[in-house]
């Protein structure tokens, strides 16, 4: 027998008053002069009640910036799976006699966006433990699993040396960046000490900077120039004698050549002797023997770096991987976007209702609505096979990632899991939060054409989230 429990008028009135007060609070927050162009859309949706709590311009298209990564993440988990692992493989057409390889050694990349120093050491040591202690032959790189386009076409002309604009490649290392450290000299007028990590022949330093007197404020300028066979890191300007060691992240121009240079250096450091070590590009011949198949960490872990720190390279590598796995190599941005379109269709959105041109949101040509992002969040929430990995990849307000310093002193801030998005005059925040009475919500805040500094836009978003955290249908203050 089913019993219907009536809701008292007092209870109904209390709930209605709480919702009304919530609406009034958000209307007041959104009346900020920063948003006077009305270029914003907001949707807050109850995952428990399956109803809208608040919405404004939910169907207007906006530049989502890095909130686009939420869709890339959802599609990756759906079509690749949380335990998908990238391979980096070593092949040879030669023969192994004792601990010596007679023949060329091929390293083939399959798009691993997190082939970093630790993973490269593991790869090299797997070869050493075969055991192979000497290679008589060339070291050859195979990057054919992806196409040859280093950047997404819709990003426009190649940008500068910023880490967020790093090139793409099936064979990539350390996010295709190097770390540059600059320390002041002992005396004013001395050249500062410049250290590049990793230190390989692929990068050369041109240091034209100087150490300035202790009381003189300095400014260092770093640039990266493509010199064909190597990248030149130029350092100009000055650094004060009493300054701390400065650290910069700079992208490289040729991922394959860079990775190959690091691979060769690590082989030597591991004690593997190289004879005839010319570095070349090529493809693994048919019938080549597999020596090592090094697997990456699970995709679920890579997604944490993608979303907590908004890594563009990881997003675009994943997009090309989706294309390669679904339609065959070489992986391309276009084929990855075909799978994104399939995912959006599964949510009920036709291709003329949005525009997605990359995986990271770096392009200003992307267009999404707050409702579409909330629909993705709802769909993921309802799929237990991917939801735990999806939400664990989001930034925790006041605790980690790009939102570590946001709302750090707000009670229950860790009940908000979010993805940020930032471009010039664009700011976005989407994710989940749990209100004071335990109700769970998905939300999206998209802001374009901002008339203020980015910090003010972040403050508006934080105020909205704070209102959500303290929302209580029965007793909202």
pTM over 0.85? The answer is: yes
Residue that the structure tokens 């471009």 belong to: 423
Count of other CB atoms within 10 angstroms of residue 132: 22
CA distance 33 to 256: 48
88: CB partners within 8 A, 6+ apart: 107, 108, 109, 110, 112, 115, 119, 123, 171, 294, 296
- Note the pLDDT tens digit of each residue in 55-78: 999 889 999 999 999 999 999 999
In tens, the pLDDT along 300-352 reads 999 999 999 999 999 999 999 999 999 999 999 999 999 999 999 999 999 99
Over residues 389-431, the pLDDT tens digits come to 999 999 999 999 999 999 999 989 999 999 999 999 999 999 9
Alpha-carbon torsion 359, 363, 364, 365, what sign? negative
156 confidence band (pLDDT: 50, 70, 90): confident
Please give the share of the chain, as a percent, with pLDDT higher than 70.
95
Q: Is 464 helix (H, G, I), strand (E, B) or coil?
A: helix
Give the separation between CA 264 and CA 92, rounded to whole angstroms: 15
Q: What is Dmax (Cα atoms) for the chain?
A: 89
pLDDT tens, position by position, 195-213: 999 999 999 999 999 999 9
Question: Can you tell me the distance from the alpha carbon of 75 to that of 79, in angstroms, rounded to the nearest whole number?
Answer: 6
Query: What tokens were used for 443?
Result: 């939300």
- 362 by Cβ neighbours in 10 Å (0-12 / 13-18 / 19+) ranks as buried
> What tens digit of pLDDT does each residue of 235-277 get?
999 999 999 999 999 999 999 999 999 999 999 999 999 997 6
Whether residue 266 contacts residue 116, with contact meaning beta carbons closer than 8 Å, is answered with no
CA–CA distance, 58 with 60 (Å, rounded to integer): 6
DSSP at 475: T
CA distance 44 to 58: 10
3-class DSSP state for residue 309?
coil
Backbone φ and ψ of 142, nearest 5°: -120, 110
CB 69 within 8 A of CB 315: yes
Count of C-beta atoms within a 10 Å radius of residue 430: 26
Torsion of CA 113, 114, 119, 123, to 10 degrees: -10
What average pLDDT does this structure show over 352-380?
Answer: 98
- Tokens 């230190």 locate to 199
Task: Give the whole-angstrom CA distance, residue 159 versus residue 173.
Answer: 20
Q: For residue 431, what pLDDT is reported? A: 98
> Of 45, 29, 111, 103, whose CA–CA distance to 431 is shortest?
45
CB-CB contact of 418 with 106 (8 Å): no
């Amino acid at each position: 027998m089913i019993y219907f429990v009536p809701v008292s008028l007092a209870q109904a009135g209390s709930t209605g008053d709480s919702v009304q007060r919530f609406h009034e609070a958000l209307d007041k927050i959104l009346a900020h002069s920063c948003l006077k162009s009305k270029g914003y859309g907001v949707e807050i949706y109850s995952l428990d009640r399956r109803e809208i709590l608040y919405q404004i311009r939910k169907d207007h298209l906006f530049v989502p910036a890095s909130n686009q990564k939420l869709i890339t993440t959802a599609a990756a988990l759906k079509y690749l799976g949380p335990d998908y692992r990238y391979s980096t493989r070593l092949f040879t057409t030669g023969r192994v006699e004792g601990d010596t390889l007679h023949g060329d050694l091929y390293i083939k990349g399959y798009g691993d966006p997190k082939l970093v120093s630790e993973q490269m050491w593991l790869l090299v040591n797997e070869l050493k433990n075969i055991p192979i202690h000497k290679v008589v032959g060339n070291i050859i790189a195979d990057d054919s699993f992806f196409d040859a386009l280093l950047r997404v076409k819709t990003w426009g002309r190649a940008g500068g040396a910023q880490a967020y604009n790093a090139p793409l490649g099936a064979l990539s290392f350390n996010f295709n960046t190097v770390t540059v450290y600059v320390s002041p000299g002992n005396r004013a007028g001395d050249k500062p000490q410049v250290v590049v990590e990793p230190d390989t022949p692929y990068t050369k330093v041109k240091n034209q900077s100087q150490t300035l007197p202790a009381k003189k404020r300095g400014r260092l300028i770093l640039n990266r120039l493509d010199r064909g066979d190597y990248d030149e890191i130029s350092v100009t300007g000055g650094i004060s004698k009493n300054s701390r060691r400065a650290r910069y992240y700079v992208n490289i121009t040729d991922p394959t050549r860079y990775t190959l240079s690091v691979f060769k250096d690590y082989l030597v450091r591991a004690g593997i002797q190289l004879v005839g070590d010319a570095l070349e590009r090529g493809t693994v011949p048919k019938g080549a023997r597999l020596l090592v198949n090094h697997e990456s960490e699970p995709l679920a872990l890579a997604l944490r770096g993608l979303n907590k720190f908004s890594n563009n390279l990881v997003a675009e590598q994943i997009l090309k991987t989706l294309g390669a796995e679904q339609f065959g190599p070489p992986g391309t941005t276009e084929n990855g976007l075909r799978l994104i379109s399939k995912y959006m269709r599964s949510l009920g959105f036709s291709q003329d209702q949005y525009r997605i041109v990359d995986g990271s949101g770096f392009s200003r040509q992307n267009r999404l609505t707050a409702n579409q992002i909330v629909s993705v969040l709802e769909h993921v929430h309802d799929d237990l096979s991917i939801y735990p990995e999806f939400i664990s990849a989001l930034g925790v307000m006041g605790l980690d990632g790009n939102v570590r310093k946001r709302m750090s002193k707000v009670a229950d801030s860790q009940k908000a899991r979010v993805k940020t998005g930032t471009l010039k005059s664009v700011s976005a925040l989407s994710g989940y939060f749990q209100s004071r009475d335990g109700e769970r919500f998905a939300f999206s805040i998209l802001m374009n054409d901002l008339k203020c500094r980015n910090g003010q836009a972040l403050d508006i978003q934080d105020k909205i989230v704070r209102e959500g955290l303290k929302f209580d249908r029965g007793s909202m203050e």
